[in-house]
Structure 1
Amino acid sequence: MIFNNNYSFLLRDSTNYYHKFYLSESNTLMLQTFSDKGLSSILPVEKNISDYSVDLDKEDKIHLILLKDSGELYYRIHPSNKFQKKLAHVNLKSNKVKFLTIKTIREDVHIFYMLNNKSTLCRSIYHSYYHNNCWTTKKVVDVKADKFFYPYMIDCTKNYIYLFYSKDSKQSYGIKKFNLDFYMWGDLDDNIKLPISHNASFLISDKNVAFICYNASLNRNIYTLVRYRDLNNNSSKWSKDIPLSEATINALHPAIVVKNNYTYILWTEGENIVYRKTDSGSINWNSKNLLMKKNPYLCNSVYISNHSSEPNFKNTYCPIIVDSPPYPVINLEKPSNKDEIREKENTIIPFLNNKQSNEGDSYKEEYIRQLQLIIMEKDKKLME
């Protein structure tokens, strides 16, 4: 799904190419492609797009779901238009289609969207999937809410798809799960209460622990809170809410990121992007750390990676540093041991040792990028 036109999708494939999808001001879906040496191309994908979603499968195929201004809903494999399926044609004068999400799981394609009649407050979430050379579309659940940032989020594990959704406008949520072996929906929890909450998000770690993170307004201050549940244990319950932020400053726009066996919660405090992390096992949260100060070279993206250096990387969204190529801001986390520091040094040393040779030229852009990273880290230390 996209939340507004300032959000994008950034894909990193197994060959280390980056593909950034975003909507232009003229509602044209655009694609920027980067190699590790910089920007390769900028191309229009499709004009007159109202909403879209993107996913990258394990074979580096890019899957798109596109909603045209005319109301036509298409599924496509990019860049080839040979496999394109028209899923629906909606009368947009009387109906709305919003919050598109696409997931490629195993060899199946799963598409979600919200459909509602403009004359009612009832919205319905639909699930359309391609299995055994056949498309199936079913309504999953009705969502009754007056105002919301986004009404649902999708995540998946090896055996299930999880749908976290807003039930009403009173901070009541539910989670449904779809069995990927029997293709059936069921309830995981239909009575989740998040009092005085907003910006709720949901993600499952690589250790099969579910996290719900949200903002809550308490005593004239906005907090970032999290709760978790171990999905490996059928009898487990949700933990108590854990406040991650402090009472002295508002904590806004939380994001959940899973990386290298850790679960991170990122949020903004004033002009700073901060985070706390846990190993997702014992749920011991590290103290708050500063990543960087907000600047014009940041954008918010859903980041999807097939690269071997980022196994199991997943996120609700992630601030991205606009560079050539762009990269997640979480990569600015301080090294935790000497080996990581030595690994960073090794990426710079080849250029320094070969600056008089042709081989040295090939390292030049990577060297400059590493210097930029070091400068950002030094700026961060000055703010601490």
Structure 2
Amino acid sequence: MRSTSLQHYLVEYKDNQLYYFYLDQNKQIISNIYKEDNRLVTQNEMVATNISTFSVDIDTQNKIHLICITQEGELRYYIYQNQHWDYRIISKLDIRSNIYRYLSIFVKGRYTHVFCTKTNLLNAMVSSIEHMYWDDKGINKSTMTTYLHGKYPSPYQIVVDSGDNLYILYKVFYKSNYQFYFSKFNILHKKWTSGELITNSQEDHSHPHMLIDRNHTLHIVWCSLEENNFIIKYKRKPQVSRSKSKWSRLYTLTNRNANHLSPVIMENEEKLMVFSMQNQHINEIYSKDFGETWSAVEKSTLHKLEDPILMKYCQLNPSESNYSVNSIYGEAENQLILLGLRTKNPVSTETFKKKPPNTKSETLKSTEAQDPPPLKTHTDPPEDMDMDSNQNPEKVTEEAIKPPIHEQYVTTDENFKKLITEVQDYINKIVVEIDKIDNIKGDLDNELSPNMNSHSSTISIDSLSHELKKVGSQLTELDHEKFLLQREVETCQKKLCQIEDKFIELKKSLLTLQEEICDYSCNDPSILNRIKTFFK
């Protein structure tokens, strides 16, 4: 198996093309292009060199966004449009003091979000998740959380709903075991919720994956370690964008002797599918009722690929697709094979023979040799953007971020009919709710009329109004208290960060003093003689 790391990206492009990006052994970002029939047409196009980590996404304007960190610590931002790559250096990271991992980019709506973990070399078991996002009005940066990841750091999982809210799942070492915490970023309030523990603290957990389907339900699959065997667990959260949405019960999808690893979940034509590695095969479990019941495919139909890859999948227009997928197992050689997307390429149960790839590199073209023009897009990040800075500016200059250039679109009859249908369905739902309210009101009137005269009903209405005002004032007070507590929590978090920074500075000073003492004692032997004389 080549890799289960998400340093492999598959991007849907216009004209049904697929762009495959990966980081090769020489730390170069390479792209291959596949046509509609999944046949390789362009191979080994070099995008950038000397790269530590990278991430890719595509926007609705058919522009590919790529962000990467070089081995010198440069944070570079690329955009691909009109068959050409443009880039700029947007920050210089402190790689002498910190390790940066799991870089991610999400271009959703008018916002571009960039994430990464930052680990200080003096405290290698603690990391922070850094979040930076911008639009045409300004840039914001914050530390989403600081957590103990233990001896082995793991990548986080992020998904975005139809309202551009973000959801993150990250692994924390808690109570001697590895657990998953869940948090939401509200795009309107620009705030993260507190981390919510969603796993059993008595067990170890690993290999999480999240997906939001076309019915706005959040699905999570992961591996739990029980009696030295990995078992796939599953949870879901319907209507995840609603504040009152609750988690479903916990499902166990595999038995204890199966040992499935790295599960990924996807939706294709009203069917949920979970793919996972089992020995040399890729196992499939499916549900036809949105996760309520699950079935496993027969052993004779297990998928076997010669060189399987777990790829991050970027959809061009998710809202217009009949499937929802953000990670996928497949094989990317002369023929692209994707498990689960039957419309792309049916997969047989036999082992696919790998054809030797074309290793010629004489015609490789790199954008490193030229000085590309500035990016011109509404997602273009501001210059001199520092990811290590603790500042959180609300506005930037006009030179830093240019306003978007909106393109005009012609609404087709199909889209217009679809819009009318959706509006009509929404109106029908409102009518039904209004009817329910009218019925309830009528029932209340019928119950009150025979037992009360006009005077008593007036008194009851006054008392109810008084109680309503009382409850409203109490809610207002509670809301104010909640706001004050949130401000106190934010202040405490800032103080904690300041204390950590001071602690690191003091630790550095201590090391410097120790080195100076050693150097001084070595250079001046009289000090050693005095110490010897003292102990005689």
TM-score (norm 2): 0.57
Among candidates 177, 187, 208, match of residue 184 of structure 2: 177
Tell me which of the two structures has the higher relative contact order, counting C-alpha pairs closer than 8 angstroms and 6 or more residues apart: 2
Q: Which moved more, 1:234-243 or 1:190-199?
A: 234-243
In the alignment, which residue of structure 2 is the partner of 1:9?
9
- Is contact 1:5-1:22 (8 Å) kept? no
Distance (whole Å) between structure 2 residues aligned to residue 377 and residue 177 of structure 1: 40
Tell me if structure 2 keeps the 8 A contact 1:265–1:275: yes
Change (3 A) 1:253 1:90: same
In structure 2, distance between residues paired with 1:269 and 1:104: 34
Q: Does 2:109 correspond to 1:109?
A: no
Partner of 1:68: 70
8 Å CA contact 1:12, 1:19 repeated in 2: yes
Cα distance in 1 between the residues matched to 2:144 and 2:106: 16
> Shift of residue 269 of structure 1?
2.2
* Mapped pair 1:223 → 2:242: no
* 1:201 counterpart residue number: 209
Residue 241 of structure 1 corresponds to 250
- Residue 270 of structure 2 corresponds to 261
The aligned residue for residue 313 of structure 1 is 324
Higher-strand-fraction structure: 1
Structure 2 unmatched runs, 5+: 353-536
Determine the structure 2 residue equivalent to 1:276.
285
> Contact (CA 8 Å) 1:304, 1:313: kept in 2 or not?
no
**8 Å contact kept, 1:214–1:224:** yes
Q: CA deviation at 1:310?
A: 4.3
Match of 2:171 in 1: 166
Letter in 2 for 1:190: E
Secondary structure of 2:340 counterpart: helix
Structure 1 CA distance for aligned equivalents of residues 11 and 77 of structure 2 = 18
Stretch of structure 1 that moved more, 282-291 or 54-63: 282-291
Partner of 1:192: 198
The farther-off stretch of 49-58 and 38-47 is 38-47
Runs of 4 or more above 6 Å deviation: 3-6
Partner SS state of residue 15, structure 2: coil
2:44 is the counterpart of 1:40: no
Determine helix, strand or coil for the equivalent of 1:15. helix
Name 2:148's counterpart in structure 1.
144
Q: Does 1:19 align with 2:19?
A: yes
Equivalent of residue 210 in structure 1, options 206, 215, 218: 218
Is the Cα contact below 8 Å between 2:158 and 2:166 reproduced in 1? yes
Can you list the C-alpha shifts for 1:157-182, whole angstroms capped at 9, x where unaligned? 02211111223353333222122233
**Structure 1 residues 149 and 268: alpha-carbon distance in aligned structure 2, compared to 1, 3 A threshold:** farther
Find the counterpart in structure 2 of residue 329 from structure 1. Answer: 339
CA contact (8 A) 2:10 2:312 kept: yes
The SS at the match of 2:341 is helix
Residue correspondence of structure 1 range 276-295 to structure 2 within 5 A: 276-279=285-288, 281=290, 283-289=292-298, 292-295=302-305
How far 1:280 moved relative to its partner?
A: 5.9
Counterpart amino acid of residue 110 in structure 1: H
User: What is the CA–CA distance in structure 2 between the aligned matches of 1:261 and 1:234, rounded to whole Å?
Assistant: 25
Q: Is the 8 A contact 1:143 1:151 kept in 2?
A: no
Could you tell me how far 1:228 is from its partner in structure 2?
1.8
> Which structure 2 residues correspond to residues 70-149 of structure 1 after superposition, within 5 A?
70-78=72-80, 80-82=84-86, 84-86=88-90, 88-120=91-123, 121-148=125-152
1:5–1:198 CA distance, 2 compared to 1 (3 A): closer
Q: Report the structure number with the largest CA radius of gyration.
A: 2
SS in 1 for 2:192: strand
Greater Cα shift, 267-276 or 189-198: 189-198
SS of structure 1 residue aligned to 2:16: coil
For structure 1, the residue ranges without an aligned partner over 5 or more in a row are: 333-343, 345-368
Identify which range, 231-240 or 63-72, moves more after superposition: 231-240
Offset at 1:149? 5.5
Count of residue pairs brought into register by the alignment = 337
State how far apart, in whole Å, the 2-side matches of 1:163 and 1:136 are. Answer: 18
Residue equivalent to 1:363 = none
Amino acid at match of 2:325: K
Whether the 8 Å contact between 1:77 and 1:84 is mirrored in structure 2 is no
Q: Is contact 2:284-2:297 (8 Å) kept?
A: yes
Cα deviation for residue 266 of structure 1 reads 1.0
* In 2: Cα distance, 1:204 partner to 1:126 partner: 23
